[in-house]
Amino acid sequence: MSEQKKSRRQMLEEFVARKPDDAFSRYGLAMECMNNGDPAAADEHFRALLGSDADYVPAYLMYAQLLVRESRGAEARTVLSSGIAAAEKKGDQHARSEMEALLSEIA
């Protein structure tokens, strides 16, 4: 299959297959799955990402949003609590405040 005919998801899957611990590629693949109606795959990729790179702060908010959409509020609260701690550790007040706002909506 030529590069031009591959979907964005296929290209991201190839990147992740080559470098499974590359947080940026894994995040992109999780987002692609989430935005294109494959919440199970998105869940799998967010879990893998946070399992290998717990400091990848943007993943927490997006994963929590996915969980909220899937009516998994308790899991979303857990993810957000971890994300808030990760954001504090990195000094990312903007991400922290976004996660706190979502947490207050589902708490």
Q: Give a yes or no: residue 50 inside a domain.
A: yes
Residues 61 and 92 sit within 8 Å (Cβ to Cβ): no
pLDDT in tens, 4-35: 689 999 999 999 999 999 999 999 999 999 99
Q: pTM to 2 decimals?
A: 0.91
Q: How many domains does the chain have?
A: 1
Average pLDDT rounded to a whole number, residues 60-88: 97
Q: Give a yes or no: residue 46 inside a domain.
A: yes
Calpha distance 37→71 (Å, rounded): 15
User: Domain containing 76: what range?
Assistant: 7-106
**CATH code of residue 17:** 1.25.40.10
